[in-house]
Amino acid sequence: MLPITTARLRIDALKSTDAPALRAITDDPAIIAAIHFLSAPFTLGNAEALIRGHVHGVERFLGVWQGMNLIGVVGTGNSGDALEVGYWFGTKFWRQRFASEAVGAVVAALQRENPGRDIVAECRRENRASWRLLERLGFRASGRAGERPGRERLILSGPPPP
């Protein structure tokens, strides 16, 4: 499934050489507050560990690049019978629809590779931008609490969008 390219982005597995760039976009109070497993400060060692994988059940972290710049991360993993996605983007890249473009591309690739399998995400309802992004991609509230503190589980079922 990798790499994935969109009109503006390239999405691919993070490599150990990406650790400094990952630390730079992640060591931000707004990011650390939103992602429960990130520590403050988010150090180079933390970035290296995250790239090695299997952090809190996330099996793969994918980097999102605009040109040569790492701007965000999309994580994928298994959640029971479903696949799960999560994401964060450096704050200076917010409100530019990069997250929507990248997460949409990863979700579409997961659907192509895993036809008929549900995809889930967890989000705080008060994180309006992220909640709306997931809804635009076809996710719907499941009515269930998420496994992470303060989050609700959203689900995407059915075939990939055209």
Answer for the pair 58, 107: CB distance below 8 angstroms, yes or no.
Answer: no
Which pLDDT band, with edges at 50, 70 and 90, does 122 fall under?
A: very high
> Using CA atoms, how far apart are residues 70 and 136, in angstroms rounded to an integer?
24
Q: Which of 87, 109, 108 is nearest to 98 (CA)?
A: 87
Q: Parallel, antiparallel, or unpaired for β 140-145 and 69-79? A: unpaired
Q: Calculate mean pLDDT across residues 145-160.
A: 84
Looking at every residue in the chain, the average pLDDT score rounds to: 91
Which pLDDT band, with edges at 50, 70 and 90, does 58 fall under?
A: low
Between these two residues, 30 and 79, which has the higher pLDDT value? 30
Find the helix packing angle between 19-26 and 44-52, rounded to 10°: 110
> Using CA atoms, how far apart are residues 27 and 46, in angstroms rounded to an integer?
10
Answer for the pair 62, 89: CB distance below 8 angstroms, yes or no.
Answer: no
Whole-model pTM?
A: 0.91
What pLDDT is stored for residue 29 in this prediction?
A: 96
Q: Looking at beta carbons, which pairs linking 141-150 to residues 24 or more positions away fall under 8 Å? A: 146/122, 147/79, 147/122, 148/36, 148/122, 149/36, 150/124
Q: What is the CATH number of domain 4-116?
A: 3.40.630.30
> Using CA atoms, how far apart are residues 150 and 146, in angstroms rounded to an integer?
7
List the domain boundaries for the chain: 4-116
Q: Give the Cβ contact number of residue 158 at 10 Å.
A: 11
